[in-house]
Amino acid sequence: MEQKCAPRRSLRLLAIASATLAIVSMLATVIIVPLVYNHVQHLQSVMNSEVDFCKTRSRDMWREMVTVQSVSGGIPARTAR
């Protein structure tokens, strides 16, 4: 009788362990996936604002260069030594 109970106990322990692992993995998935999605969405919005800032600065620099060139009469000619 003792020999038949040992495999049942080990199978029961294995079933409990696998069910516990499945529950833990499902809870981790339910918690981690939204956190990762939120983090990626935040990074995307930060990057979009940084790109817009760089575009604005670049456009302002080009306008300033054009203004300076128009006031100074264009690119000055190089003189020979």
Question: pTM of the prediction?
Answer: 0.58
Which pLDDT tens digits describe the chain residue by residue (81 residues)? 455 667 778 899 999 999 999 999 999 999 999 999 999 999 999 999 999 999 999 999 999 988 888 877 666 667 777
* DSSP one-letter string for 38-81: HHHHHHHHHHHHHHHHHHHHHHHHHHHHHHHHHHHTSSPPPPP-
- For the chain, the domains span 1-43, 45-75
Cα gap 77→67, rounded to integer Å: 18
DSSP-assigned letter for residue 1:
-
